[in-house]
Structure formats: structure tokens, C-alpha cells
Amino acid sequence: MVLIIIVNYKVGDLTIDCLSSLEGEVAGLSNSRVVVVDNDSQDGSAETILQAITTNTWNNWATLITAEKNGGFAAGNNLGIRHGWKGPNGSTPDFVLLLNPDTVVRPGALRLLVDFLQSHPDVGIAGGRSEDPDTTPQYCCFRFPNAWNEFAANAKLGFVDRVLKNKICRVPFSNEPHPIDWVSGAFMLVRAQIFDQIGLFDENFFLYYEETDFIHRARKAGWLCWHVPQSRIVHLVGHSSGVTIRHQRPRRKPVYWFDSRRRYFLKQQGLFHAALADLMAIFGVALGRTREILLRRPTTFPPWFLWDCVRNSVRRFR
């Protein structure tokens, strides 16, 4: 049985589309259910979603609950997991699926992930491929953050990527399942026993890095993570958060992004490596931005990014 958690924040119409795409998936997996958590949207989302659940007779597999406050992605998922852990007959899930509201699940995607975990008992977490509506693949599986890939991601220099190809965060696309450090929390299936073993998501992460931290903790507990590209979803990147909308210049990074990044490095790698990652990121941004200016190219960095990296990271280590 699969417990599916969708955390909605002011994207009621997208959440309804996501639920619609799940109808056939849930029907093919006995006793599976969906919990939609409205993260205190206060925009009518909760009422719209509830009406859709009733109108489409999804009541037998989908439930809406509302959070008292917007505690972030980790808190919203934890609330949904706690609520849905015990089914009507007292059963507990075998797997928990985290699913973004700005996604549409392609037919058979969930069954593919479930079958993969059932046939690979040493794998605890699996993620599928995220795509644009035209099937263009998106980066959705990564290496754990480190100082080297912080530099490479911001310097944006081809020769740096080639030199650091085994360290950079993004992993080249593959059409075959393969082990990976971590997968996107937009579409991530987790064995339920992992939650029993290491606990729920760290709610000190408001948004971003919470799935990276969780998978890192699972890795320390002996569980592998795999990417399964045959399992596919459409992901309208950034529509649920408004921060990472693709094909346009990014918005200014919110403070909570820097807070989550800093917490991840401090928690998983310690103060020295956190400070080193900050310095390498700042060096990379300065180099990348200088290159853009010299070549008279429009910037691809968020507004005030170099200043925000300094203000929100290094200074706080003093």
C-alpha cells in the first residue's frame, strides 16, 4: 500500500490536476490513499480542492487536511504522513510517495517505482524522471552538495565542469536505472520502514534541502537511493514555490533558501566544510558574473546573488 502526500500552497488548480492524474495510479495499487495538506494557503485553495474531491468522487482514496500555519515543505509532509499513517482498517503503508502539487503523473509511473523497490530490497528511496510537458527531461537526480560542486555550479565554465565532472551536483541524463546520491522530493518514493528507523523530515528546513538531508540520513542508516527514469512525471518547475520557474531569469533567492542551505552543510558536513562551501560558492559567483560582464551577456544569476551569498552565509560564521 502506498501513502501519497501532496502539500498545497496557493496552487489549488494545479493540485486538482495532479489528483486527476493519480486516479488511475491509485486504482492499480490496492488500499493506496492520498492525503492533500493545505499549508494554510488562505486563498480558497482548500475549499476548491475539497469540492473537486467531492465532485469527482475521489473521497474513497483522497483526503484533504489543513495546517494551522505554513510551516514549510517538511512540516507539511510530516503532517500528512502522521495523518495518513494508519488507514481505516488500521493498516500502515509499505511506501510513502512525496509528490509536488505542480506535477502530472504519467500512466504507470507510480507502479514502476513500487515494483522497483519491491524487487530491490536494499534500495530504500527511488525517484522517477521529471519532464517538461513536451517530454524534455529535467535534472532531477544529483550528487550530494559539496564545496567543489558549489564552485562549479556558480562559475558556469565548461572546462571547470569537465575537470570536476565526477563531483558536480547534476548528473548526466540516463535511460537506465542507476544509484544516485539523492533525487528530487517532487516525486520520491520512500520505504515506510525508513521513517520508523530515522524519523520524519527535519522541520527546521522551511523549503529546499529537506529531501537532501533526509536521503543523507537514510544513506547513513544503510539505505540506497536510485533514479528510475522509466517512471515519468510532468513537473511545472517552480509553480508551487515561485522561486525556480524555468526559462526566465530566477527571482531573488529568499532568505529561507540560504537558511536551508546553511543548515544542511552545518548538519551533514560540519562548520569547516560549510564555511569552505560558502567561500567556493562566492568565488564561483564572482567568477561567473565577471565572465558575463566581460562578454556582455545577460546575467543568469538571481538578483543580488553575490551579496546575498555573503550576507546570509559567511558572515554568520563569525
CA angle 18, 60, 17 (to 5 degrees): 10
Q: Has residue 244 got a pLDDT over 80?
A: no
Which cell goes with 112?
514502476
- Provide the pLDDT confidence category of residue 317 given band limits of 50, 70 and 90: very low
Q: Helix crossing, 12-27 with 109-119: angle to 10°?
A: 60
pLDDT the model gives residue 242: 54
| CATH number for the domain formed by residue range(s) 2-135+180-235 | 3.90.550.60
Q: Which pTM value belongs to this model? A: 0.94
Cβ proximity of 62 and 19 under 8 Å = yes
Checking if the pLDDT of 315 tops 60, the result is no
Q: CB neighbours (10 Å) of residue 44?
A: 11
- What is d(CA 17, CA 32) in angstroms, rounded to the nearest whole number? 18
Cβ-proximal residues to 174 (8 Å cutoff; 6+ apart), any chain: 227, 229
CB count in 10 Å sphere of residue 317: 12
Kindly tell me if the per-residue pLDDT of 181 is higher than 50. yes
For the cut 60, the answer to whether the pLDDT of residue 316 exceeds it is: no
pLDDT, tens only, 182-223: 999 999 999 999 999 999 999 999 999 999 999 999 999 999
Each residue's pLDDT tens digit, 59-101: 999 999 999 999 999 999 999 999 999 987 788 999 999 999 9
Least confident range from 8-12, 178-182, 237-241, 274-278: namely 237-241
Query: Has residue 250 got a pLDDT over 90?
Result: no
pLDDT at 88: 77
Residue 241 pLDDT class (50, 70, 90 cuts): low
- List the domain boundaries for the chain: 2-135+180-235, 144-169+249-318
Of 47-51, 141-145, 247-251, 255-259, which range is least confident? 247-251
Q: Which of 230 and 31 is assigned the larger pLDDT?
A: 230
| pLDDT value at residue 38 | 98
Given a cut of 50, whether residue 285 has pLDDT beyond it is: yes
What average pLDDT does the segment 226-231 reach?
98
At residue 237 the predicted structure's pLDDT band, cuts being 50, 70 and 90, is: confident
